[in-house]
Structure 1
Amino acid sequence: MRPERARRRRRAIALTPLIDVIFILLLFFLLTSTFTRYGELPVSAASAGTGEGEASPVFLGLGVETLALNGTPQSLEALAEALAGLRPDPEASLPVLVAIEPGVTSQRLVDLLSRLRPLDWASVTVLD
């Protein structure tokens, strides 16, 4: 005689522990994430002129792999020195106009703006 096997009835999955785990994970990710902004760069858009300024503006053309200072090719590393040489007066600020060519990534623009940020005497304006 064969003993009859007890049929196991399939139990339904309890959702309460699953909801608890999801809630704990949600709390974990909310509490461990940061909501601060890293490396904010102040950017001013071009606006209408107010007349003649103290110094004539310098034009920077930002390409995908090129950078031109008043039409002459320039490296990103030597840009600060080149801009310092164009200041007419060490006390005056130097307006810098940045024109972006099509196809330039935002990271390339951020790299340029981060190089210009320490130059407190340069007023940078990004053209549309």
Structure 2
Amino acid sequence: MLDTSRPRRRNPISLTPLIDVVFILLVFFMLASSFLDWRAVQLEAPAEAGGAGSMEGAMLVEIRPDGLRIAGEAVTERDLRDRIGARVREEADTRVLVMPAPGVSMQDTVNVVEDLADVGARNLSVIRQTQP
């Protein structure tokens, strides 16, 4: 016969399998997720080495540590986008030369190139200052 006088004892539930499953899910999502925004900027090499093309009508954008300049005139990022965008709408193949000054970070240069590409500039060139 069954002894009903003693309370029935439950088996303890082991949390080890649950912790294993949670750990596996954590590892899976860490490996499957991308925490960085990887973007690529398309750069094309010039068709001819030394063939600079026509500079007539080109716009020079200087990136300096103290700010941006178009043809020597200081501008804000918004003004840069507006002016280049307006010029590109008038003449789609306008050549835009981007010249970072020494000491300007590559990320700042890429940001300006992306901004110019966003407003429709397709004929972009990154140039460097010549040494005197």
Runs of 4+ residues over 6 Å off in structure 1 = 27-30
Greater helix proportion? 2
Contact 2:84–2:121 (Cα < 8 Å) also in 1: no
Aligned AA (2:76): S
Distance 1:51 1:116 in 2: 20
- Residue 48 of structure 1 deviates from its aligned partner by 2.9
Between Structure 1 and Structure 2, how many residues are aligned? 105
Contact 1:57–1:95 (Cα < 8 Å) also in 2: yes
Give the TM-score, by structure 1 length. 0.60
5+ residue gaps, structure 1, are 1-23
Higher relative contact order (CA 8 A, sep 6+): 1
RMSD: 3.5
TM-aligned CA distance change 1:84 to 1:31, over 3 Å? closer
Contact 1:43–1:124 (Cα < 8 Å) also in 2: no
Residue in 2 that maps onto 1:101: 101
Kindly provide the CA deviation profile for residues 32-65 of structure 1, in whole angstroms up to 9, marking residues without a partner as x.
465x971111234665336547x51110110113
5+ residue gaps, structure 2, are 1-23
Identity %: 23
SS for the counterpart of 1:77 is helix
Contact 2:96–2:121 (Cα < 8 Å) also in 1: no
TM-aligned CA distance change 1:91 to 1:127, over 3 Å? closer
